[in-house]
Amino acid sequence: MTDTNTSLLRAESVLHPWLDNSFRAFHGCLSLVAAGGCAVRHNPICKDLFDRLVAKGKAKPAAYGTVARKLVQIIYGVLKNKTMFQIQPQNA
């Protein structure tokens, strides 16, 4: 595995809960969730996803976590395909 693949797997893994030695649940990297919050404000794709999830009744912290996972998927696609991220215009 290359360094890029390894770091992507680590980034993906922090979005899933795990248990520490005292068996208290922890939920991965808060910085990714914070990045999800920033993406909701500045990225129309992430904002649409967040608004859709909240409208369906999902709690806001859970929706931010889902947006963080979407960011990891976008980052993976950019690195895998070696292309710049471009927001595709929506056909109405």
**pTM for this model (two decimals):** 0.64
Cα-based angle 66, 70, 84 (whole degrees, multiple of 5): 160
pLDDT at 31: 72
Number of domains in the chain: 1
Q: Is 86 a member of any domain?
A: no
pLDDT at 53: 95
Reported as a single tens digit per residue, the pLDDT across 14-40 is 544 444 444 344 445 567 778 888 889
One-letter amino acid of 14: V
Q: Is 47 a member of any domain?
A: yes
The encoded tokens of residue 40 equal 């909701």
DSSP 65-86: HHHHHHHHHHHHHHHHHT----
Reported as a single tens digit per residue, the pLDDT across 51-62 is 999 999 999 989
Q: Is 44 a member of any domain?
A: yes
Rounded to the nearest 10 degrees, the angle between the axes of helix 60-81 and helix 44-55 is: 150
pLDDT at 10: 54
Q: Is 25 a member of any domain?
A: yes
